[in-house]
């Protein structure tokens, strides 16, 4: 089996109603999906993608299109994902190790695993271990750009749809505003729904601890990315000082930085994002590392790619249900019932991007 087709493209999908959601440190301009499609000499196919918040999609595609990188895949056996991963990583190492080049590698690696599972005629969740075919989702959003009324309505809508946990943004310049908004959400969703808050790296260590202690009265179950993402020392200090769990990992690339966060007790909930960390090949290494410390995986975003990974993994906790209008764009057929996804037997990830979607959103 040899790869004989390698196609890349970018879908740029605006937010519904032309909205520009704002997190603490940046607005989100659009969702870009940078897609890799592979075919082989014996007719197998695979598709993978990474996602941006509206900047960088063309640059990620440009990395994937470099002949010296494309040639690491073309005419190779796609089942050799570990060899291809390492060849790509070392060839891009001096210009990357995170960000654009790792996101390119992630999209490619996801396509390789999709192809491998399809060629085996197996759904990926089963090929990788089949721990469970049911995955819990939590409803996520609650951007700072929403009025308090709209925030409460969004969180209540998730609960009405059956989700038993929700997540909202914090990180307003005045923390008192965050406290008020968290109180309003808690009052609306009741005491039985778990509530998570995400600061998107905006605080320093002392502010994070102060805000977390004040939010403890509202029974917040996890605080996410309170300070700049690479600072494991700061995360460890915060984790020791706050009553709720500390979640982080969406902005860490490759398994290497997870070693420090996990071994130095700087994280409770590991959020490695398969579309950034280096694809399925590297995500599984993070999951194994987390498992050895009895920590759960609750991966960030790209719901439809994460579903089979969380299902396959014994320490998979849940998926993040955010921007759920992306699911039909990538051809997801599985719908949550009572906040739980029951995975299908479709081979691979069970995803596909239609010609209609390409016509509507393709950038080039
Ligand atoms: Mg986050």
- 118 with 143, same domain: the answer is no
Res 96: pLDDT: 85
- 100 with 173, same domain: the answer is no
Res 141: pLDDT: 97
- 136 with 268, same domain: the answer is yes
Q: How far does residue 67's CA lie from ligand 1's centre (Å)?
A: 34
**Sequence-ordered list of residues with C-beta below 8 angstroms from that of 345, at least 6 positions apart, any chain:** 123
Res 198: pLDDT: 98
Catalytic residues: 169, 300
- 130 with 111, same domain: the answer is no
Q: How far does residue 300's CA lie from ligand 1's centre (Å)?
A: 7
- 277 with 180, same domain: the answer is yes
The verdict on residue 116 lying in a domain is yes
- 184 with 56, same domain: the answer is no
Q: How far does residue 251's CA lie from ligand 1's centre (Å)?
A: 9
The verdict on residue 213 lying in a domain is yes
Res 152: pLDDT: 98
- 131 with 215, same domain: the answer is yes
Res 109: pLDDT: 98
Residue 7 belongs to domain with CATH number: 3.30.390.10
The verdict on residue 348 lying in a domain is no
Q: How far does residue 250's CA lie from ligand 1's centre (Å)?
A: 7
Alpha-carbon distance values, 275 to 121, 185, 223, 252 (Å): 23, 30, 22, 11
Q: What is the pLDDT along the chain (364 residues), one digit of tens a residue?
A: 999 999 999 999 999 999 999 999 999 999 999 999 999 999 999 999 999 999 999 999 999 999 999 999 999 999 999 999 999 999 999 998 999 999 999 999 999 999 999 999 999 999 999 999 999 999 999 999 999 999 999 999 999 999 999 999 999 999 999 999 999 999 999 999 999 999 999 999 999 999 999 999 999 999 999 999 999 999 999 999 999 999 999 999 999 999 999 999 999 999 999 999 999 999 999 999 999 999 999 999 999 999 999 999 999 999 999 999 999 999 999 999 999 999 999 999 999 999 999 999 999 7
Q: How many beta carbons lie within 10 A of that of residue 33, not counting itself?
A: 23
- 11 with 131, same domain: the answer is no
Residue 189 belongs to domain with CATH number: 3.20.20.120
**Sequence-ordered list of residues with C-beta below 8 angstroms from that of 134, at least 6 positions apart, any chain:** 311, 340, 341, 342, 343
Res 283: pLDDT: 98
Q: How far does residue 290's CA lie from ligand 1's centre (Å)?
A: 18
**What does DSSP say about strands 340-342 and 134-140: parallel, antiparallel, or unpaired?**
antiparallel
What pLDDT digit, counting tens, does each position of 330-355 carry? 999 999 999 999 999 999 999 999 99
Domain range for 208: 126-342
Q: How far does residue 301's CA lie from ligand 1's centre (Å)?
A: 8
- 106 with 228, same domain: the answer is no
- 8 with 82, same domain: the answer is yes
- Rounded Cα distance between 292 and 337, Å, is 31
The verdict on residue 208 lying in a domain is yes
Give me the number of domains the chain comprises: 2
- 307 with 200, same domain: the answer is yes
What pLDDT digit, counting tens, does each position of 82-134 carry? 999 999 999 999 998 999 999 999 999 999 999 999 999 999 999 999 999 99
- 147 with 111, same domain: the answer is no
The verdict on residue 347 lying in a domain is no
Please check whether residue 40 is in contact with residue 115, taking contact to mean a CB–CB distance below 8 angstroms: yes
């Amino acid at each position: 089996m040899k790869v004989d087709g390698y196609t890349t493209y970018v879908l740029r999908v605006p937010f519904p109603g032309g909205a520009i959601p704002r997190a603490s440190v940046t607005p989100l301009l659009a969702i870009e999906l940078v897609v890799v499609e592979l075919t082989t000499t014996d007719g197998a196919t695979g598709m993978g993608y990474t996602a941006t918040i509206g900047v960088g999609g063309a640059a990620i595609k440009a990395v994937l299109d470099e002949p010296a990188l494309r040639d690491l895949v073309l005419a190779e056996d796609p089942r050799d994902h570990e060899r291809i991963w390492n060849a790509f990583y070392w060839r891009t190492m001096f210009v990357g190790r995170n960000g654009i080049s790792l996101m390119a590698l992630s999209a490619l690696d996801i396509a390789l695993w999709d192809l491998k599972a399809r060629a085996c005629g197996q759904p990926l969740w089963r090929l990788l271990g089949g721990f469970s075919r049911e995955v819990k989702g939590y409803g996520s959003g609650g951007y700072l750009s929403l009025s308090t009324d709209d925030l409460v309505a969004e969180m209540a809508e998730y609960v009405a749809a059956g989700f038993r946990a929700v997540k909202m943004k914090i990180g307003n310049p005045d923390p008192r505003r965050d406290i008020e908004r968290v109180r309003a959400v808690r009052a609306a969703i009741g005491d039985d729904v778990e509530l998570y808050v995400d600061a998107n790296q905006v605080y320093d260590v002392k502010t994070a601890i102060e805000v977390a202690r004040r939010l403890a009265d509202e029974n917040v179950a996890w605080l996410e990315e309170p300070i700049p993402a690479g600072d494991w020392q700061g995360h460890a200090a915060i984790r020791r000082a706050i009553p709720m769990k500390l979640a982080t990992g969406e902005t860490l690339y490759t398994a290497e930085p997870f070693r420090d966060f996990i071994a130095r007790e700087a994280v409770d909930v590991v959020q490695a994002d398969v579309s950034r960390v280096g694809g399925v090949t590297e995500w599984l290494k993070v999951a194994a590392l987390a498992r050895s410390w009895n920590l759960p995986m609750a991966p960030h975003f790209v719901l439809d790619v994460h579903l089979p990974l969380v299902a396959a993994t014994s320490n998979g906790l849940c998926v993040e249900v955010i921007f759920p209008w992306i699911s039909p764009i990538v051809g997801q057929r599985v719908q949550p019932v009572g906040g739980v996804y029951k995975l299908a037997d479709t081979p691979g990830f069970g995803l596909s991007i239609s010609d209609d979607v390409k016509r509507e959103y393709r950038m080039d």
